[in-house]
Structure 1
């Protein structure tokens, strides 16, 4: 199949799914948001959206979850019923279903996001009324959702630095390579101009960022390297 024929097929799949986006959101009501992504355009992957849980709009960027799927390429699998939080504290239960063309190549995703904040509050209240002890369950991770890809990339970089518990200046070469390797595995560098943005966020030159990225791809990770 030629590249143009493949693109036409993918466009047809996305067009066929657009009504489905609105149908699912209408079925579940105001607590539901459905987002259709075209990964051929990471910086503006949202091609259809219904509902407003994460505030996405058409033409907006993918989240770090989408970047992770993009990084896995054709090996990506559906991610179902995972829980995360928005920066504003909204608790979201989501499913991300990858889209494939007839050759099996991943090119997009259909994402369903449910705001379960009220459900969790009701559950906690019922537990308190029933005299159940507090479970102390761990909070789900915060995920940055936004139409601006720059904010998503910045959030991922900041999160990786927090995990290292150091500033960039405080990292040795091994941990700097680990940081770039982690960002690469997350799919950050699939985004146009991401290397330049990461360099600016870390306060290093663009040439240094490209050098660390190249070295991270050719150097085997040390034991316990991955975060």
Structure 2
């Protein structure tokens, strides 16, 4: 049966729009490639955030050939180890696209450069490294973190974010904090208001209600 060329072209055009969106979202870390598997010797139709050095018109990969040869080959292969031509490590995901007859006609492939993330991880590890000096100091003398943790637990028990608490919820929270003695802590109302995303005046009204 002759492939439905207009239908396949429409599919490829839509796939290209998806590739552009993914490429723009994950630039510059992720290479996004659209393959036309009906033309395996020149399968690459587009390549966004080119990390592999390939060009439009380059041939398909071994995975593409496997799909062409076997319609039952897995349609989605996610997060498999890969390498660019220069040896850089990559994490790849490949999605095969079938036509109405169940034949592979295209593929959308994403290749993430792990070396970039490795460098970022090393820099973050170095930045977060601390000398082993036995000094005890707290930058939270007002127990603000303890208050925030109490607010978070209270909010979670109601399946809400702290900023989404309604006035009746805030009144119940303030009653708990008062009973625990937290309202007597210096700058407690400032800490609570900031974490809830309301003004101190609003909290004072809640306490009076």
TM-score class, shorter: 0.5 to 0.7
Aligned residue for 1:48, secondary structure, equals: strand
The answer to whether structure 1 residue 46 and structure 2 residue 47 are counterparts is no
Encode CA deviations 1:71-94: one digit per residue, 9 max, x unaligned: 333433311111211231211111
Larger RCO (CA under 8 A, 6+ residues apart):
1
- Please give the TM-score of this superposition, normalised by the length of structure 2: 0.54
After TM superposition, list the pairs within 5 Å mapping 1:1-227 onto structure 2.
Answer: 3-4=2-3, 6-123=4-121
Listed as ranges, the gaps of 5+ residues in structure 2 are 130-209
Could you say if the C-alpha distance between residues 68 and 121 of structure 1 is closer, same or farther in structure 2, counting changes exceeding 3 Å? farther
- Larger Rg, first or second structure (1 or 2): 2
- Name whichever of 116-125 and 40-49 sits farther off: 116-125
Q: Is the Cα contact below 8 Å between 1:83 and 1:93 reproduced in 2?
A: yes
- Please give the TM-score of this superposition, normalised by the length of structure 1: 0.50
Aligned residue for 1:55, secondary structure, equals: coil
Q: How many residues align?
A: 129
Cα distance in 2, alignment partners of residues 92 and 12 from structure 1: 30
Pairwise CA distance, 1:126: 6.4
CA RMSD of aligned residues (A): 2.4
Listed as ranges, the gaps of 5+ residues in structure 1 are 131-227
